[in-house]
């Protein structure tokens, strides 16, 4: 086991990785392999679940509440943050790289429609986004 402060002892031999958030038994080979694959997902552009959800929550808060936007650019940054959180989930589920452009375009269209209160456009964007459901994990 490494001793660089990234593993926290949870008792009974279980450790939690501060990088990926995975709880495991380092003595068990299967656990070590699963942990290694979690880090490979991060190296491929994925983000741990709690981090994705945190980014989404903060992004949505800013999208939902004008008072939280300190500058007009923050609305766009909040949309990008939410779109990136969804992309990170898709990349963790092996979405092909050439899907980046259409995936992000559809998510921006969706977020633009939601913040504009355009229900029809929101529904249209959600229809387009269905093709990536299989990467939603």
Instruction: Give residues in contact with Zn ion (CB under 5 A).
Output: 17, 19-20
Q: Which is nearer to Zn ion, 20 or 125 (CB)?
A: 20
Q: What would the DSSP string read from start to end of 5-53? A: S-EEEEETTEEEETTT--EE-TT-HHHHHHHHHHHHHHHTT---HHHHH
Q: Which is nearer to Zn ion, 48 or 59 (CB)?
A: 48
Shortest approach of Zn ion to residue 38 CB, angstroms? 5
Shortest approach of Zn ion to residue 84 CB, angstroms? 20
Q: Which is nearer to Zn ion, 20 or 113 (CB)?
A: 20
Cβ atoms of residues 90 and 52 within 8 Å? no
């Amino acid at each position: 086991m490494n001793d660089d402060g990234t593993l926290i002892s949870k008792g009974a031999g279980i450790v939690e990785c501060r990088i990926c958030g995975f709880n495991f038994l380092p003595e068990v080979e299967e656990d070590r392999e699963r942990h290694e694959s979690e880090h490979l997902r991060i190296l491929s552009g994925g983000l741990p679940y709690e981090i994705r959800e945190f980014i989404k929550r903060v992004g949505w808060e800013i999208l939902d509440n004008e008072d939280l936007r300190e500058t007009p650019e923050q609305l766009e940054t909040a949309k990008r943050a939410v779109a990136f959180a969804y992309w990170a989930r898709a990349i963790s589920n092996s979405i092909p790289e050439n899907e980046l452009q259409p995936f992000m375009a559809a998510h921006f269209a969706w977020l633009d429609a939601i913040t504009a209160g355009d229900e029809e456009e929101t529904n249209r964007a959600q229809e387009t986004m269905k093709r990536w459901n299989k990467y939603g994990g």
